Amino acid sequence: MNTQGYVLAADVGGTNIRAAVINPDGSIRKEQRVQADLSAADVSENDVIDALEGALTGLVGDEENITAIGIGFPGFFRGDSGILASSPNIPALRDVELAEAMSKRMKLPVSVQNDGLCAAIGEHQFGVGEERSNLLHITLGTGIGCGLILNNQPFTGDNGMAMEFGHLCVHTGDKARLCGCGNYGCVEAYASATAISSRYAKQSGQHKDAASIYKMACKENKAAINVFEEAGMYLGLAVAEAVKLLDIHLVSISGGLTGAWPLLHAPLISALESNLISPQRGKVIVRRSSLNDNAGLLGAAMLAQTLLAD
């Protein structure tokens, strides 16, 4: 038996849970992806705990001494308490003591935090955000998440909701698109994988996922190229708003949609630069995550390690 402890980490997505055993140096020892649909309206706290236990158990060998568990979850948490205030994806869960319940089940210390913030923490420690005191990290997938590192610390705001980058408004006109949040013109309605899929369907009449549309774009399909370039442009507008307010000079982006980086990046930068105030122009770097979508897992593990240091 290894005397040095490992940490278990989980990153909860809309349709699956990624789980990993994390080495003491923060690297991934082994991992697995488990199907788990937590998007139904009637999902209960117990369903979530069962799904997490299922994803984590079985991953651990006899020789591995697990000391803590860190979980990235799509929802708003009350500070570092591990209490889930609410989750846009699972409206039935409100004020759930998720860390405590999970800790009872697994007999280990557990930290749970917003998935976008976990990704920001991981990217800041191990990815392109290293050596920066401020970082805006964006997760670009089915939806758009975000995490902020300010003065080298995760920033969560007064009520754990300082990550609603996806709902910054990038279109104020009458034709602004309706977002899942109920408002109009949110960047999530323009630059998420869902938005790309729906925009392409509207233009071509064909329903395809973002990955398939990207493949078509690579084969010079005009409509496919257009929807990605448009998404990049709107993403740039939203990044400009964040930079004007916070003057953060490094923005990192992770998530499935970064596979389309060659198409997204140029229009993103162009829209960003033209919407900054002039002394900020030319100073902001937007980089694709260097962590192959492991930022969230690594950040969740770091928060678990913090539990042990306390």
CA distance 75 to 152: 22
Q: Are 105 and 43 in contact (CB under 8 A)?
A: no
Q: Are 166 and 188 in contact (CB under 8 A)?
A: yes
CB of 249 to a copy of itself, least distance (A): 4
Q: Which is nearer to a copy of itself, 46 or 274 (CB)?
A: 274
CB of 269 to a copy of itself, least distance (A): 16
CB of 246 to a copy of itself, least distance (A): 5
Measured CA to CA in angstroms, residue 214 lies from 147, 196, 228, 253, 256 at distances of: 26, 10, 8, 17, 11
Q: Which is nearer to a copy of itself, 17 or 250 (CB)?
A: 250
CB of 199 to a copy of itself, least distance (A): 17
Helix (H) / strand (E) containing 286: strand 285-288
Q: Which is nearer to a copy of itself, 165 or 200 (CB)?
A: 165
Residue type, 188: E
Q: Which is nearer to a copy of itself, 57 or 153 (CB)?
A: 153
Farthest-apart Cα atoms in the chain, separation: 64
CA distance 61 to 263: 42
Q: Which is nearer to a copy of itself, 51 or 276 (CB)?
A: 276
User: Residues interacting with a copy of itself, by CB under 8 A?
Assistant: 76, 85-86, 88, 133-134, 146, 148, 150-151, 153, 155-165, 167-173, 181-183, 185, 237, 240-242, 244-250, 274-275, 277-280, 283
